[in-house]
């Protein structure tokens, strides 16, 4: 018996779902980011600016699309060493149909209320979940978050198992130990490799933080509803 999570028909598409531009702390404007990834054979990217929602469907064209999204993080107390960051991307049709709150629109600022307890953190996640998003926790190794500090959280869909930017800057790319510990303790999450690109250095240089972490999606067609 062949067991697979892939649909029987369709084709694979390559993409980066953690991406920054000059809309937050990136160094390249959105159109240059699109140009760079499209030129490297990517089929999709998600602009995930810090607490600022992006919908750049205007850049969609033959063989390339952008996905709506945001990187959201609660404000941590000054003495706190951890940094909880999350990617929110539109969920599948079932997730969106069950939403009790409206989705964000381009240029909407997303909540960044202070973190004081796990209840606050769960409310933060639930805000996106209730709007029809899938929520992924970002770079736990770089964020100094242990697996047992993720286990109590609900309504998470995925975890960044590899963050290229964190590796380039501080040699903290891999969170595979954290992911394995979550699985062994019964938390079932998808995992993703991402760039988290800010493009502080030239795209042609050895210190670039683009084109190192990506996912492949098998879909019937290249459109956000199928991804």
pLDDT at position 7 = 74
Residue 119 CA to residue 142 CA, distance in Å, equals 23
Q: What are the tokens at 198?
A: 């800010």
Instruction: Classify strands 190-194 and 158-163 as parallel, antiparallel or unpaired.
Output: parallel
Helices (H) and strands (E) in the chain, counts: 5, 9
Domains annotated on the chain, with CATH: 14-226 (3.20.20.140)
**Per-residue model confidence (pLDDT) at position 77:** 87
Query: Tell me, what's the pLDDT at 223?
Result: 87
pTM for this entry: 0.94
Q: Give pLDDT, residue 6.
A: 75
- pLDDT means per 10 residues, the chain with 227 residues, are 76 97 98 98 98 97 97 91 96 94 97 88 97 98 97 98 96 97 97 98 95 95 76
Tell me the longest C-alpha to C-alpha distance in the chain: 54
């Amino acid at each position: 018996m062949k067991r697979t999570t892939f649909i029987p028909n369709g084709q694979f598409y390559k993409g980066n779902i953690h991406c920054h531009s000059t809309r937050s702390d990136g160094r390249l404007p959105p159109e240059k980011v699109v140009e760079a990834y499209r030129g490297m054979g990517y089929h999709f990217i998600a602009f995930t600016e810090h607490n600022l929602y992006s919908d750049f469907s205007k850049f969609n064209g033959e063989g390339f699309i952008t996905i709506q999204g945001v990187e959201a993080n609660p404000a941590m107390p000054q003495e706190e060493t951890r940094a909880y960051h999350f990617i929110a991307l539109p969920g599948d049709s079932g997730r969106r149909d069950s939403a009790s709150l409206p989705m964000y629109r381009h240029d909407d600022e997303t909540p960044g209320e202070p973190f004081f307890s796990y209840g606050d953190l769960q409310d933060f996640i639930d805000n996106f979940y209730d709007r029809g998003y899938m929520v992924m926790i970002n770079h736990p190794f770089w964020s100094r978050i242990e697996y047992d500090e993720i286990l109590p959280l609900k309504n998470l869909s995925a975890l960044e198992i590899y963050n290229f930017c964190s590796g380039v800057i501080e040699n903290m790319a891999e969170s595979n130990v954290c992911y394995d510990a979550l699985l062994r303790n019964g938390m079932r999450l998808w995992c993703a490799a991402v760039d988290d690109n800010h493009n502080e250095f030239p795209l042609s240089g050895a210190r670039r933080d683009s084109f190192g972490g990506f996912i492949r999606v098998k879909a019937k067609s290249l459109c956000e509803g199928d991804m």
